[in-house]
Amino acid sequence: MPSALGAARASLAAFAEEVDGKVISHVDVLQTDWPLTHRQFAEAHALVDQGELLMRRTAGLLIDTARNDEALELSLRARVRLDCAYAVRRCLEAVQTLYLATGGRGVRDSNRIGRLQADLQAINMHAITALDPALEAYGRILMGHPPRTPRL
């Protein structure tokens, strides 16, 4: 999870550098003056913040549990997994927002945001951080059914 947050933060920095002085060709306006760019950048920041908040809540819960020498009950383990999956998904969504905002420059091999987006795609596809299985496991537990995964 920290790697997802680091990649998302790096994409925010890369985007700010990349758009500086760039002109949106179809409207002949500096990208930093384009209102949509402001919206996209703010949205990406908000998504990264959401991911970080979920990670911090999860870390706090795990630290408190360890300090109290307690075990996490099944429903809490499922929620932790879901929070982790949502955190990395929010980081991916932030980078995808910026990736799309870079326009045609984003597909270049040299584009840092494109590479970070690919990294976050991989993190989101990992068995532990994949969102759909985490949603299913937590939903099953909330409905009184056992999870169908041993990875909780």
pLDDT in tens, 42-78: 999 999 999 999 999 999 999 999 999 999 999 999 9
3-31 pLDDT per residue, tens: 999 999 999 999 999 988 888 888 888 88
Which DSSP state fits 150? S
Supply the CATH number for residue 34's domain: 1.20.140.10
- Percent of all residues in the chain with a pLDDT value above 70, rounded to a whole number: 96
Ramachandran region of residue 108, left (φ > 0), alpha (ψ -120 to 50) or beta? beta
| Average pLDDT, integer, range 132-152 | 92
Q: How confident is the model at residue 1 (pLDDT cuts 50, 70, 90)?
A: low
Q: How confident is the model at residue 106 (pLDDT cuts 50, 70, 90)?
A: low
> CA-CA-CA-CA torsion for 138, 141, 147, 152, nearest 10 degrees?
60
44: in domain: yes
* CA 38, 39, 43, 44 torsion-angle sign: negative
| Average pLDDT, integer, range 101-105 | 79
48: in domain: yes
152: in domain: no
Tokens 């700010």 sit at which residue? 16
108: in domain: yes
98: in domain: yes
Ramachandran region of residue 69, left (φ > 0), alpha (ψ -120 to 50) or beta? left
pLDDT averaged over every residue in the chain: 92
| Structural domain of 130 | 2-142
Q: Residues 6 or more apart from 25 whose CB is under 8 A from it?
A: none
- Percent of all residues in the chain with a pLDDT value above 90, rounded to a whole number: 76
149: in domain: no
150: in domain: no
Q: Residues 6 or more apart from 46 whose CB is under 8 A from it?
A: none
pLDDT value of residue 22: 87
91: in domain: yes
> How many domains does the chain divide into?
1
